[in-house]
């Protein structure tokens, strides 16, 4: 039993169980975890003015910050436990090492201090207190905003300690039992290292939350009405279902129709075409004399777009090998230069449409145009050239997929990324690695990834046009 299982357990019971007993070969490396670790170390280092050392020896030497310490002990009724505090921060007091003591600290991404932070700190404080022979009254939550390190103090009261004890006992029971069910809140799964493993099981069992648009609450509502899996939903009458979906008010019949059709597509593996000839005809017209595909890689925590990729297409049916791809890196110090290049590309073919997947790209260009003091009319004319294929495909097709993300849709269309197991988070991980090491290999990987994202978007455009 350790802090890592406790943290997983708070997020998803099944995750804690899998971390403890799951077959490691089913687990996929998560860039989120790695990014978190890098950010964490940088902020901790800033907090301790670079005086961070590893292990027990660092505590004995009384360094300001200590990482990588594992402490074993009995938590309750002789249940063996282990803590791995993210950081120990030296403070005034008396401990077995001398006239100082350590407080546990955790890293927080974003604004909200969650149960995960509170329970992690409280759990650590109990074992650390015994170990350093000095009771701990508070822990620290460390975050950063605008390059400043923020420290929030959390005082441990009786209520919090009791909660941690209860959760610890539930965790112990869970780890000794059989594998828990897949979480109802599937949003949690998007950054989980067991996602592939759980997705397979969800698909095999026809989980309702696998159907696009059905979250935990709607799944529960359907279950109370006797619809417990995708197969049952697929064969349900649309009108009958609409009557049961009163929570959607005026949209209840429309929602029911989409849910049933989405389930039918999911079960049969066949796409369903929603008549939307006008939009796809429009796409054909707007791409006939050439167009761009545009895709951005960004660091959302830093609010920084680090790569803008353009694919130039004279004709939708041009051979892939003949397409021109232009990546524009946005290194912070040369921001103005990158903007100039983007505008130059966009205005070298003023009439061309810009196809993209999702809303980010259009928003980014509008922001750049504003920064460059474009007039209202110029911004309006520029933004009218953008066509969001994500919106378009959702309006035109019901696909046999669990979501309409770029990867899911283009994979289904047979598109293959040149690099294995890639994602936007992996590109961000490479970007962070590049900033630390300045090794160009990371830039090459990001550029290859972005080019493939553009080609995947192109494949979706081709599908829309060919099947309109």
Contacts with ligand SF4 by CB under 6 A lie at 12, 14-15, 18, 182-183, 188-189, 192, 194-195, 198
- Distance between CA atoms of 188 and 7, rounded to whole angstroms? 13
For residue 13, the minimal CB distance to ligand SF4 (Å) is: 8
Q: How far is the CB of 350 from ligand SF4 (least distance, A)?
A: 46
Short-list 61, 80, 62, 60, CA closest to 71: 80
The nearest distance, CB 115 to ligand SF4, in angstroms, is: 16
16 in Cβ contact with 193 (< 8 Å): no
Task: Please choose, from the candidates 41, 33, 139, 145, the residue with its C-alpha nearest in 3D space to the C-alpha of residue 83.
Answer: 139
Q: How far is the CB of 399 from ligand SF4 (least distance, A)?
A: 22
Q: Which of 124, 54, 142 is nearest to 82 (CA)?
A: 124
Nearer CB in complex with ligand SF4: 11/335 = 11
Distances 385 to 312, 349, 390 between C-alpha atoms, Å: 14, 11, 15
Cβ distance to ligand SF4 smaller for residue 66 or 192: 192
Nearer to ligand SF4, 103 or 214 (CB): 214
CB of 198 to ligand SF4, least distance (A): 3
Residues in the chain: 468
By beta-carbon proximity to ligand SF4, the closer residue of 138 and 187 is 187
- Closest to ligand SF4 by CB, 14 or 402: 14
Which C-beta is closer to ligand SF4: that of 12 or that of 427? 12
Q: How far is the CB of 27 from ligand SF4 (least distance, A)?
A: 10
8 A C-beta contact, residue 184 and residue 209: yes
Name the residue nearer to ligand SF4 (CB basis): 5 or 306: 5
Phi-psi region of 415 (alpha: psi -120 to 50; beta: other; left: phi over 0): beta
Shortest distance (Å) from residue 24 CB to ligand SF4: 14
Nearest-angstrom CA–CA distance, 447 and 306: 11
Helices (H), 205-269: 216-224, 230-234, 238-244, 252-268
Query: In the numeric block, which tokens belong to residue 190?
Result: 């998007």
Can you name the residues that pair with 98 across neighbouring β-strands? 95
* 285 half-sphere exposure, CB direction, 13 A CA radius: 7
């Amino acid at each position: 039993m350790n802090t890592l299982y406790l943290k997983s357990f708070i997020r998803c019971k099944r995750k804690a169980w899998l971390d403890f007993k799951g077959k490691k070969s089913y687990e996929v490396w998560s860039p989120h975890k790695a990014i978190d670790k890098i950010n964490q170390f940088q902020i901790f280092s800033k907090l301790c003015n670079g005086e961070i050392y590893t292990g027990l020896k660092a505590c004995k030497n009384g360094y300001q910050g200590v990482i990588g310490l594992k402490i074993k002990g009995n938590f309750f009724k002789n249940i063996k436990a282990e803590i791995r505090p993210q950081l120990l921060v030296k403070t005034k007091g008396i401990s077995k090492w001398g006239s100082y003591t350590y407080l546990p600290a955790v890293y927080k991404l974003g604004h909200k201090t969650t149960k995960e932070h509170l329970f992690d700190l409280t759990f650590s404080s109990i074992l650390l207190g015994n170990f350093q022979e000095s009771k701990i009254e508070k822990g620290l939550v460390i975050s950063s905003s605008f390059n400043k390190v923020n420290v929030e103090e959390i005082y441990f009261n009786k209520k919090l300690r009791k909660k941690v004890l209860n959760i610890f006992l539930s965790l112990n029971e869970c780890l000794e039992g059989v594998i828990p069910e897949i979480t109802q809140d599937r949003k949690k799964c998007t950054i989980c290292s067991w996602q592939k493993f759980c997705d397979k099981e969800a698909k095999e069992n026809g989980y309702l939350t696998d159907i696009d648009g059905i979250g935990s609450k709607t799944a529960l509502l359907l279950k109370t009405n006797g619809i417990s899996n995708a197969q049952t939903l697929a064969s349900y009458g649309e009108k009958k279902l609409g009557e049961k979906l009163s929570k959607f008010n005026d949209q209840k019949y429309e929602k029911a129709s989409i849910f049933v059709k989405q389930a039918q597509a999911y079960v049969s593996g066949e796409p369903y075409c929603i008549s939307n000839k006008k939009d796809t005809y429009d796409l054909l017209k707007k791409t006939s004399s050439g167009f761009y595909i545009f895709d951005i890689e960004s660091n959302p925590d830093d609010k920084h777009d680090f790569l803008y990729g353009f694919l130039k297409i004279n004709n939708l049916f041009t051979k892939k090998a003949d397409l021109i791809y232009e990546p524009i890196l946005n290194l912070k110090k040369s921001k103005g230069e990158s903007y100039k290049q983007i505008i130059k590309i966009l205005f070298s073919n003023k009439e061309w449409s810009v196809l993209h997947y999702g809303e980010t790209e259009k928003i980014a260009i509008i922001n750049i145009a504003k920064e460059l003091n474009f007039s209202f009319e110029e911004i309006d004319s520029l933004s009218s050239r953008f066509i969001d294929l994500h919106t378009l495909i959702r309006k035109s097709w019901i696909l046999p997929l669990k979501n309409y993300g770029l990867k899911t849709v283009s994979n289904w269309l047979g598109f293959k990324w040149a690099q294995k197991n890639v994602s936007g988070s992996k590109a961000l991980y490479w970007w962070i690695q590049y900033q630390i090491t300045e090794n160009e290999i990371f830039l090459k990987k990001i550029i290859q990834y972005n080019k493939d994202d553009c080609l995947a978007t192109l494949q979706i455009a081709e599908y829309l046009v060919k099947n309109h």
